[in-house]
Amino acid sequence: MNRSIPILAMFLGAMPLQSAAQDAATEKKWSAAKVVSWRVEGVFKARVQVAKGDMGSKGDVTDRLTVEYTWDQKGRKLIGEPKVTDFPSDVSNLKSDGTNCGPPQLNGPYEHFQSTSVTMMGRDLIEVKGTRTFPPAKISNYPASCSMSPVAGGKEPEAVHVGVGVHPKSLGAPHMPGAVTIAPDRKSFSMAGTKGWTWTYTPTLVE
């Protein structure tokens, strides 16, 4: 389970506000917010297994999804239901890693994450459940030989987690090195999550 996102909420809530690099106008704007719409973009980039049953059949994979929700700042609760948007995975640089054999041959798209449901876990965490899809493929018979054999595709359950309740006034906090990066224009902040995901939060003032 990706628990790095709830840590983000605690981290931003505790950021110091006394530095000369503080943006007082941004902090003031968001301190008065009652209702905020959030767009959270998750970007995945890593080299991973792309054929079921062969750890050496790997590719450079990128994937993306967005989670949008509206948050009642004073009531500290969601308004309505979160919306999840999926995007297709991209796979490049296919190789049979650790061998001198040819690359795996994928007979269909590899999908790193495709959402199936979205629910709240407690008061501060959105859980997006989904699947990882491996296409039918041909893989090498290494170490016996480099001849290719067919393997069936399949699906595996997967989930990502997005923290909610982060106060947008933290966008006015000083720029500091660390796990959370505030954008130069102070319109968003991002952090590296687990399993190759990076998450960027962008708020829009509703009320």
Residue pair 91/124 in contact by the 8 Å Cβ criterion: no
Using the structure block, give the residue that is written with the tokens 């965490």: 125
pLDDT over threshold 80, residue 151:
yes
pLDDT of residue 115: 98
Arithmetic mean of pLDDT, 140-150: 94
What are the C-alpha distances in Å from 71 to residues 8, 9, 90, 146?
A: 16, 14, 32, 55
| Domain assignment of residue 117, yes or no | yes
Arithmetic mean of pLDDT, 68-96: 95
| Domain assignment of residue 203, yes or no | no
| Number of domains the chain contains | 1
* CB atoms closer than 10 angstroms to residue 165: 17
| Domain assignment of residue 99, yes or no | yes
The closest of 198, 206, 106, 114 to 159, measured between CA atoms, is 114
pLDDT over threshold 70, residue 33:
yes
pLDDT over threshold 60, residue 75:
yes
Arithmetic mean of pLDDT, 43-66: 96
Q: 160 falls in which pLDDT band (50, 70, 90)?
A: very high
pLDDT over threshold 80, residue 12:
no
Sign of CA dihedral 131, 136, 139, 141: positive
| Domain assignment of residue 202, yes or no | no
| Domain assignment of residue 27, yes or no | yes
| Domain assignment of residue 114, yes or no | yes
Tell me which residue range forms the domain holding 55: 4-197
Query: How far apart, in whole angstroms, are the C-alpha atoms of residue 1 and residue 68?
Result: 20
What share of the chain in percent tops pLDDT 70?
90
| Domain assignment of residue 137, yes or no | yes
| Domain assignment of residue 206, yes or no | no
Q: 193 falls in which pLDDT band (50, 70, 90)?
A: confident
Arithmetic mean of pLDDT, 134-156: 96
pLDDT over threshold 70, residue 14:
no
Q: How many helices (H) does the chain have, and how many strands (E)?
A: 2, 13
Arithmetic mean of pLDDT, 66-70: 97
